Amino acid sequence: MAPLLDHKIGDAMLSSLPWRSKSNLLTCSLVLLIYLTSHPSLAKPSSLKEITDGNWEDILAGEWMIEFFAPWCPACQQLQPVWNEFADWGEDMGVNIAKVDVTEQPGLSGRFIITSLPTIYHCKDGVFRRYQGARTKDDLLSFIDEKKWQGIEPVSSWFGPSSFMMNTMSALFKLSMFIRRCHNYLIEHLGIPVWGSYVIFGLATLFSGLVLGLILVFIADFVFPSRRYNSPNYYQKKQTMEQARLIQQLEEEQEADGEEDDEDDEDGEQDDVWRRRRASPEGRPEEVLRKRVVGNREDQDEDS
């Protein structure tokens, strides 16, 4: 009865007001409603946090539940209302509820090795565990309230998001996304055909590989020089070997010149013999021919 009586009294007081006062009151209420709807920051702030490449190190302190999702994933779309309700309980339970859009943060996708969607991680003071339970609000709340995460084996430090290996993986994922965006820009904005884009990236890969190889060779030679170049007697031995090689080369040239001189001497002696024979009467060709003719005649006379 009391609420009904209060309601009647309120209606009586409102009806006793002048018409202009009622109009002003309705106008003020409408303006206040429009102001509140146009300024959502005055409403209750959302408990769901967004993790990016710039602030991901915040999850290394405190307790977190992190969902990795993609807008196009049907399973992620089904989980989203449950995850929003779970986030409303985060402040009461002392846990931070966050989400990561892998399409916008490819580096985090590589850092946490996301192979399926949605993927949920629990983090407590930098120790990560993968949640593989049911995806209902009650199961998620009991997982935190009953500390069921203690029975899950944590991720190895080698594969932790802050390890060197995962930093490298994150950089590779960022590079792949950058290449994909460049490819889309070439074919969509510049009108280059797909095969032309592949050719450009192939040439860029070859050139960068050559440059990187040269840099690695120079670094290796500088850091780990050859032992023979470090030897104090290396240059002295090199000079001695060079002198020995030159001496041997000179000796071989002298031997070759000596053999040529011997051959020239033999040829000269033979020429002298032939000259002496030609100079003697018996060595002339006409004398030899005459002797053969005379000899043939004498043989004929003896036969006759």
Which residue numbers are catalytic? 73, 76
**Can you tell me the distance from the alpha carbon of 152 to that of 131, in angstroms, rounded to the nearest whole number?**
8
CA nearest neighbour of 121 among 150, 101, 103, 98: 98
CA nearest neighbour of 79 among 91, 68, 94: 68
- The 8-class DSSP code of residue 59 comes to G
Half-sphere exposure of 52 (CA within 13 A, CB side): 4
Token code pair at residue 3: 């609420």
Euclidean distance between the first and final Cα of the chain, in Å?
A: 189
DSSP 3-state of 114: coil
Q: Are 244 and 252 in contact (CB under 8 A)?
A: no
Q: Are 277 and 283 in contact (CB under 8 A)?
A: yes
